[in-house]
Every structure is written in C-alpha cells, then in structure tokens.
Amino acid sequence: MGVFFISMLRGVLAATALIVVAATAAQQYQYPNNLDVPYVPTNQPTVEAMLRIANVGPNDYVIDLGSGDGRIVITAARQFGAHGFGVDLDPQRIKESTENAMAAGVSDRAVFYQRNVFDTKLSEATVVTMYLLPRINLKLRPRLLAELKPGTRIVAHDFDMGEWKADITATVRAHNSTVYYWVVPAGVDGLWNLRVADPKGEHRYDLAIKQKFQEINVNTSAAGKAGVVREERLDGDRITFVLIDGDDYMKRLRFEGRVNGDTMEGTMRGEGSAPRTEVKWRATRAAK
C-alpha cells in the first residue's frame, strides 16, 4: 500500500510539473520577456471599424505596428483591396499571420516581418494602424509626425497619443472598444509672405502661423495694418483660412490651398461684400 501511494504521489507530482511547465510555456508564448506590448488581438468588428474610419481602399499601403496574428493587414487586403505589411517581435505571431494570409488568399498583398516597430521604415505608408500601449504611442509620435507624409492617416485601437488630439474618436459599443483617428499635418509654423495675383494689382500679406499638431492660429497684416483671420483649418497638406477686412466685416476673403514644404499655393475667392472673383495665391515661408 505504501509503495502504491508513493508511486501514485510521484505520478501526481510529475503531472503537476508538466502542467506548470505547460502553463509557463504558454505564458511565455503570449508574453515573451522582450516584448513591449502583450499580445491581445483586436476583435474583428473593431478591425473593420478602424479600416472604415481611415477610409482604406485599393490605393492604400497599410503598415500595422504590432501586427499579432495579422488580422488588420489581412482584412485591409481581403475586404478593402489594400496592400501592406505588419511587424511584430514574436516569431510565432509572424508564422501565424503568414499562414493566415495564405489561407485568406492575400499573401501577395499582406506580408509580415519579425521586426521592432522602432526599426520599421514608415514613409511608404498611406495608413498606419496600431494597437499598442500609451507609452509606446508617445514614443512613436515624433517619428510618425516626422517620417509620414502630410495626409497620411493613423488609426489606433483603445489608446491615444497624448496632446496630439485625435481628429475622430469613435466607440465600437458592443465590444467596448475605442478607435482614434489622426491625419498627419503639414508643418506650417512660422512667418510667411503671401501674394495674391489679382488682375487689378498684386496684393501682399504677411502671415504669422502658430501650430500645435493640426491646430493652427493665423495672424495677418498688410501694409502694416493688422487683419482679422477666422476659420483656420489644417487637414493634412490642405490649409484654409478666411481673412476679414478690418474696416468692413462683411468683406471676407477665403483662402484655400495646399502646403508643400516652404511653399503654399491655392485659390482665393470673395465672400460677403467682397467680389466673387477667384484668383491664385502663393506664399513662401521666411527663412528663420
């Protein structure tokens, strides 16, 4: 009886040891020590909401940072016709996502790399997706602003980017998920010299633009006289503002244009009591 008890006890201990080892292995499988972000997959309705909010289409190149099992890039390719790739530090996740892309028939448009998000070249993206942690988002924020072209869309699951306010915040209610959406703004901070090519004679304005991400404040003057500016808006590389005459508040000039480095150009048209004529304008940034 004693021998049987000892033998049974050894069997129980061995089985327990196997369970502990298996549990530890499973924990390491999902949460390797060198990963900044634990593996938690985004539910499929939220994936689709993210891609719809970013207006992903066949002309887009999607980069997913921390791609897990690949579902975001695979969905972008299969349902929205996009191309792209995902990066993840976990080799098992890369293997799994590559197999998932093959099973979905999109392996020619959705590929995956074992790579740190901070070592990933971002400039070719038209859309960046991510489900990371707040501290990782904040570390990535300077690179996203510096490397991505103005107009590039960024969409994140659950975590924002601090002072950089999202252009859109949406809730996937049934799944208690939040989606944040940003458009990368052009850099317009500084002093600008603006010229309006009016057939009746060129008009010149001095612009002083202060920028905080996509939020801008525009001050202007012409011939030393300050003007009033309203409705300033920066959307990617598109800029809009309305100049109001200081002597006649019904005389409004709407400027719309695009930013390209140290130049801006577009069209101006009158509103209110101003002539409705549409003319060209161009501005250059003053050297610092």
pLDDT digits (tens, 9 = 90+) for 96-154: 999 999 999 999 999 999 999 999 999 999 999 999 999 999 999 999 999 999 999 99
- Residues forming a β-bridge with 170: 179
255 to each of 202, 233, 240, how far by Cα in Å? Answer: 15, 11, 6
Contact yes or no for 107/74 (Cβ under 8 A): no
* pLDDT interval class at 17 (50, 70, 90): very low
CATH class of the domain comprising 44-183: alpha beta
Instruction: Give the other-Cβ count within 10 Å of 283's Cβ.
Output: 24
User: Stretch 156-174: mean pLDDT, rounded?
Assistant: 97
Question: Quick one: 140 exposed, middle or buried, by C-beta within 10 A (0-12, 13-18, 19+)?
Answer: buried
3-state secondary structure of 231: strand
83-88 and 61-65 as β-strands: parallel, antiparallel, unpaired?
A: parallel
Note the pTM of the prediction, 2 decimals: 0.85
pLDDT attached to residue 270: 94
Kindly report the average pLDDT of the chain as a whole number.
89
Domain ranges of the chain: 1-30, 44-183, 190-285
pLDDT attached to residue 35: 55
Tokens read off for 111 = 């590929």
Query: Of 41-45, 218-222, 245-249, where does mean pLDDT reach its minimum?
Result: 245-249
pLDDT attached to residue 36: 65
Q: Enter the DSSP assignment of 40.
A: -
Q: State percent of the chain over pLDDT 90.
A: 77
pLDDT attached to residue 201: 82
* pLDDT interval class at 24 (50, 70, 90): very low
d(CA 51, CA 81): 11
Residue type, 151: G
User: Stretch 70-80: mean pLDDT, rounded?
Assistant: 98
Contact yes or no for 67/89 (Cβ under 8 A): no
Specify the fold of 190-285.
Lipocalin (2.40.128)
pLDDT attached to residue 28: 35
- Residues forming a β-bridge with 217: 210
pLDDT attached to residue 245: 84
Tokens read off for 118 = 């901070």
